[in-house]
Structure 1
Amino acid sequence: MNPPTFLCISCEFKGVDFLKACKALGNKVYLVTAKSTEDKPWPRESIAEIFYMDEVRHGVWNMEHFVAGLAYLMRSNKVHKIVALDDFDVEEAAELREHFRLPGMGQTTARHFRDKLAMRLKASEAGLRVPEFTALFNDEEINEFTRRVKPPYMVKPRLEAAARGIRKVQTAEELWQVLNELGEKRHNYLAEQFRPGDIY
C-alpha cells in the first residue's frame, strides 16, 4: 500500500516543522507555495515536489488555475489530505477539499476560523464571551451599536491575519469617519468594543 499523500499549501514561508514531521511519519508530501518563496530554505529532503504559483495578490490564489493544476497532479498521484500551513490559505484548502471531495474542513466550517464576523457569531451562539460587536452592513444597526456600547471601538478587517488593518477609534463620530473612508469595502470589516487585557 502506498503511503498517504499530503498536499500542503502556504503563501508564506511557514510550516517547515510540519513538513519534516509529516515526511518522517512516512507520508508523501507535496507543497504548493507562492513564487515569492522560491529562494526560501524549504526542507526539500522532506518534500516530493514543490509547485510555485503566482498569487493574484498576497494570500490570494487564482483558484481556477489551482484546481486545474491539482486535477492534473491527481491523474497520477492520489492526494489524501490537504493542509493549509498559513492563515491565509485556510479557505483555499477548504475549497480544494470540497472540489475534490477530500476529508477535512469545508468552506462553511473554515469561515469560522478565518472570518472574524463568522467567528464571533459562532462563539456567541455557543455561549462564549466575546466583546460586543456589529457587522457593518446596515447603518441603523451600527447606530444602535454605538448607542448601546461604550467606546472605544476596534474596526477590524474580517479576513486579515494577525493584527493587520485594525484601527482603534475613540468615538462614534470617529467610527463613522473610518467607515466613510472604507466606502464600498466596509462590508469586509466589523466593529467591536475595545476590551483591554493581556495578549497571549
Structure 2
Amino acid sequence: MPRVLLFSRQPLTSRPLQEWLDETADSVVLITTPKAVAEAEEILATHFPRHRLVEDYHSWATEQAAEEAAREHGAELVASTSESDVLRAARLRARLGAPGQSVESATAYRDKLVMKRTARAAGLRVPSFAAVEGPMDLLDFIDAEGFPVVIKPRTGAAAQGVSILRSPADVTAFLEGGRESAVSHVPGQWMVESFARGDLFHVDGIMRDGRIVHSWPCEYTGGLAERVIDGAPLGSVLLERDDARTEVLRQFAADVVAALPAAPDPLAFHLEAWIDPDGEPVMCEIASRAGGALIAEVYERAFGVQLAKEGLRAQCGSDLTLDHQPAAPAGLLGWLLLPAGHGTFVPPAESCPVPGVELEVKLAAGTRRDGVEHATDAAAEALVHAGTAEEVRKRMAEVTKWWHANTAWQ
C-alpha cells in the first residue's frame, strides 16, 4: 500500500480510522491533536506509530509539520477528513508532487466566491453575489439588491459566521462585530449574496474526474443559517425515487461537478441547493467532502456505503465499495438535530416513544450551554425511519414536540 499523509482532527474514539482503513492504516502518517487521541493512546501507538501531534491544529505551523513528516516517511499520497483540511492537503500535494485533488480544484470547492463565479460562468443559477473587501462593497450590494442579504465567510463551514442582514441596524451590528468575529474583517475573507427563496436540499455522493459515480438528494427541514441564529431543530429527509425533484437535483449536482475543476480520484461531495418557486434549482454551495451531521449515516442505511469512510479510503488508494448509481434507497429515512438551549440541561427522564426513531442524547445532565454554536451542533441526534418520506417528516415533528415537552434548560 502507498504511504499516506493524513490530516485528521476527529477523535479516534468516535471516528475509528484504524477500522475504516483496515490494512491501509499501517501505511498512514497521521497529523492530529492531543485532544483527538485522548483515551485512544493505545490505538494511536498500535495503528499509527508514525504520527505528529500538533497543539494548534489550525495554525500554519501544522502544514510545515505535515510536510516534514511526509518527506521523512516518504508519503506518496495526501488525504484529509474535514473541510478545513481540503485546501491544505492540496497545497501539500503540490509541494510533494503527489497525485490527487489539485489546489485549483480544492480552491473551487472551498472558496465560495470562486465556486460561484465558476458555476455562474458555466451557466448554472446562483444567487446574486459579490466579494466584500470592505464595508462599501457591502453597502453597494445592498443598494443594488435590497434587503435581506446574506453575508458569509468565503471559506466557512457549518454556517459559522453567517449573518442574515434584514435592516440597516443589522448592517451596523455586523460591521461593529469585527473584533468578536472568528473570521477577521479583512479583504479576501467575506462575500455577500442575495437571500434565496425556496426549499433547501442537499445532494450527497461520490464523484470522480468531474463526473458523479452515485448520489441522492434530501430535503432539509429548514435553513442552516437560520438554525444557528434561531436555535431551531434541523434535519433532512431522503427524497423518494418517483419524486420529480429527485432527478432535477441529481442532474443539477452532475452539472455543478462538471463545471468545477475536476479531482481525478474519487472524493465524497456535499451540494446544497434551493429549488425556487418556479421549480428551478439554484446553487448554494458544494464541498469535496462528506456532509456533516447524520448525512453519511443516512446514506449508509440507504445505500450501504458510509460517505466519510468511502471518501477517505479512496484518497488512501482503496477501491470504491459502490461504483454505480443505485436505482433507489433501501428505505426511507431522515435525520434530526435537536438544539441546545440556554442554561443547564435537564435531559428526558424516559426514552423517546415515537416509533421508528433512534435517538441519542449528546449532552450530559447538568451541562451548561448558551444556544446553538454551529449548524451541526446538537443536544440530541435522531435517525427516523418510516415507509414514506411524508411519514418520516411526521415522525420528526413528533420527536421535536416530545423533546421540547420532556427537556428543560434551567
TMscore range, shorter length: 0.7 to 0.9
Instruction: Provide TM-score, normalisation by structure 2.
Output: 0.41
Which one of 86, 111, 118 corresponds to residue 122 of structure 1? 118
User: For 1:83-102, what aligned pairs fall within 5 Å after superposition?
Assistant: 83-102=79-98
State how far apart, in whole Å, the 2-side matches of 1:90 and 1:101 are: 16
Which residue of the partner structure matches residue 364 of structure 2? Answer: none
Tell me the amino acid that sits aligned with residue 132 of structure 2. L
Which residue of the partner structure matches residue 77 of structure 2? Answer: 81
State how far apart, in whole Å, the 2-side matches of 1:192 and 1:55 are: 36
Which one of 119, 133, 138 corresponds to residue 129 of structure 2? 133
Question: Deviation at 1:47?
Answer: 3.6
Q: Secondary structure at the match of 1:4?
A: coil
State how far apart, in whole Å, the 1-side matches of 2:88 and 2:113 are: 18
Question: Deviation at 1:11?
Answer: 2.4
1:152 aligns with 2:148: yes
Query: In structure 2, do the counterparts of structure 1 residues 55 and 94 end up closer, same or farther at CA, with 3 Å as the change threshold?
Result: farther
1:185 aligns with 2:185: yes
Which residue of the partner structure matches residue 38 of structure 1? Answer: 37
Deviations 1:87-128 (A, max 9, x none): 111111111101110001222221112212122222212222
User: Any gaps of 5 or more consecutive residues in structure 2?
Assistant: 203-410
The structure with higher relative contact order (CA 8 Å, sep 6+) is 1
Greater shift, 12-21 or 156-165, is seen at: 12-21
Query: In structure 2, do the counterparts of structure 1 residues 68 and 38 end up closer, same or farther at CA, with 3 Å as the change threshold?
Result: same
User: Any gaps of 5 or more consecutive residues in structure 1?
Assistant: none
State how far apart, in whole Å, the 1-side matches of 2:176 and 2:59 are: 26
State how far apart, in whole Å, the 2-side matches of 1:132 and 1:159 are: 18
Question: Deviation at 1:198?
Answer: 2.4
Deviations 1:143-185 (A, max 9, x none): 4421221321111112222111111110356335523543862
State how far apart, in whole Å, the 1-side matches of 2:25 and 2:11 are: 23
State how far apart, in whole Å, the 1-side matches of 2:147 and 2:99 are: 43
Greater shift, 63-72 or 180-189, is seen at: 180-189
Q: Percent identity?
A: 22
Q: Secondary structure at the match of 2:178?
A: helix
RMSD, aligned CA:
3.1
Deviations 1:26-59 (A, max 9, x none): 9733322122212155965994435243243x53
Deviations 1:8-33 (A, max 9, x none): 21123379466534335797333221
Instruction: Provide TM-score, normalisation by structure 1.
Output: 0.78
Greater shift, 149-158 or 36-45, is seen at: 36-45
State how far apart, in whole Å, the 1-side matches of 2:194 and 2:91 are: 32
Greater shift, 38-47 or 96-105, is seen at: 38-47
Query: In structure 2, do the counterparts of structure 1 residues 50 and 36 end up closer, same or farther at CA, with 3 Å as the change threshold?
Result: farther
Higher helix share: 1
Tell me the amino acid that sits aligned with residue 159 of structure 1. T
